[in-house]
Amino acid sequence: MEFAALAERAERVAANDGDIETTLAVADLLADAGGAADDGSTDDLPVVVRFLLGRVFPAHDTRTLDVGPALCREAIARAAGQNVSAADVEDRLAERGEIGAVAAEYDLGGQRGLAAFGSGRDALTVAALDEELRDLAAASGEGSESRKRDALFGLFTRCSPSEAAFLARLVLGEMRLGVGEGTVRDAVAEAFLASPAPPEEDGATGAEPELAAPDDAVAAVERALQVTNDYGRVAVRARDEGVAGLREESLRVGRPVQAMLAQAGTATDAVDAFGEVAVETKFDGARVQVHYDSGGDDGAGGADAAAGGDGALGPRLYSRNMDDVTEALPEIVEYVAERVDVPVILDGEVVAVDDDGDPLPFQEVLRRFRRKHDVDRMREAVSLRLHAFDCLHADGDDLLDRPLRERHDRLRAVLPDAAADLTLADDPEAIAAAERAALDAGHEGVMLKNPDAAYTPGDRGRDWLKRKPDVETLDAVVVGAEWGEGRRAELFGTFLLAVRDDGGDASDAAERDVAGRDAAERDAADRDADAPVPAGYATVGKVATGITDEALADLTERLEPHVVDETGTTVAFDPELVVEVGYEEIQTSPTYSAGYALRFPRFVGVREDKEVDDADSLARVRRLAGDD
């Protein structure tokens, strides 16, 4: 498939208004891309699926392009001509709001491309672009940034406007097609597993579009995605082998899956829903998924071991977002290798502990998590301990569909020393007693789980409930800031916080506003409220308390590359960073777009283990405020 055809079809997909129309358009595209490559040519289907989701590699693959917004702007500027600078591209980006529209406006692949490379070059194909981007991702070491810029420049000079828009969005993972994972799941089922529609009768009027894939086909696609985390692979298997082939997909040690997540809930909620409740300690640590297959070896290779011909895989550790953090946690690697003698996939948390083994605050874990340098020195400074609470695979058995109580038995069998305690309770008082014991031991609280529930990767359902003490914190996204003053003039000093607004609208509380306020009050509120706020987010307050000079410097360094608007001393950011904030209470307020404001917010730390999609929601703010 030519890349131009994909880019043009993607534009048509984005133009659809309804969910069903979008799904059907994606299904048609996948069916066209998925014409089996019987002639030995490259199969475009898995690449097209990943590209539509803004990925070059499967979700479980730890490789990245490592192309940031600045490098992308520089490549576009270079391809646009001698009279265009990266600053010009940045200015146009501020006007247009997204990089694809900017790339499409420049004549990147027209006369500039001819001048740079001459005529006669073949059109870009999907397969060729995929290969080029994989080569770009592999560039490392001295001069790699320059090589990436050169490679991206070369690709842009071969692009039509629609191709340039698609490419710019793809390398930054910002597709803006209205195509999410659920859309692709349904489209795969529709493209390859639905029965052909009957021909329309003569004179029949056009009916409303509808999906034809049966429920069991959609469920088979969903299940295969849960265990593989690879949309391209699942699409190919659906096309080639149908539902039967999808049902043969299974977990693989060394290929991480999405973590099962919890909702907030009370002890009464749990007892009412489950009857008997599995109560676990909620650790104040970082989520980690443990994969290990000694292959008969003793695992001494540790983090440096790789999958060999005998199937051996040294312990690999993956974060909640499926990043490989093995190298940062050598003592956990050693611990697992010394104690586990069968292939396993475990779910758990890594907790920082003091010399007596007592838990330390979450921020201490973050000093170790994802660290690439000075690992040995930090190991001496901060000790870590693994607490495993679930077993997804053991000794050749996939356990996702087994009840929690059975999975926990298998966990105790394979790693008893690290298995978290699980107790059963059927009344709120017993749960409260377990919570007090967990808090007294220095932990965060308790988890309340359905002991008969399966493990559902990526699901935030009601089978797991997280119960915390009454004093809550909020995980918010930083969407703006104000420059500091005096000795902090070169640093951001106050940060604008937002939560996810999945409903796309502000709280009812915001509409109780403003009729009673005079114009001066409203103007002051408007100035105080926001810099431009990204779609899908609602602001809840500003935080400046609790941030050390060191933390301010770190936050400034991390956020400054993501500035999208600057007016006076106020800046706005693309949503990139999640921070944990404490507060005294949540009040109704028209000042912020959520309709609520955090009272006396204080900075707790950066949530290194969370992406912006994992931040707290406006719905949770409403619940905490007692309005829902």
Q: Which residues are catalytic?
A: 282
Q: Distance between CA atoms of 595 and 506, rounded to whole angstroms?
A: 7
Pairing of strands 596-599, 570-573: unpaired
Token pair of 211, please?
Answer: 């999906």
Q: Distance between CA atoms of 174 and 163, rounded to whole angstroms?
A: 14
DSSP string across 71-112: HHHHHHHHHH-TT--HHHHHHHHHHHSSHHHHHHHS-TTTHH
Question: Contact at 8 Å (CB) between 367 and 382?
Answer: yes
CA-nearest of 527, 470, 479, 472 to 501 is 479
**Unique residue bearing structure tokens 């080569």:** 135
Cα angle for residues 290, 453, 187 (degrees, 5° grid): 80
Burial category of 116 from C-beta neighbours within 10 Å (exposed 0-12, middle 13-18, buried 19 and up): middle
Q: Distance between CA atoms of 361 and 381, rounded to whole angstroms?
A: 14
Token pair of 87, please?
Answer: 């600053």
Element (H, E) at 374: none
CA-nearest of 59, 55, 229, 77 to 134 is 55
CA-to-CA dists, residue 253 to 306, 330, 385, 406, angstroms: 12, 19, 22, 20
Q: Distance between CA atoms of 577 and 579, rounded to whole angstroms?
A: 7
CA-nearest of 377, 395, 289 to 340 is 395
Question: Contact at 8 Å (CB) between 185 and 193?
Answer: no
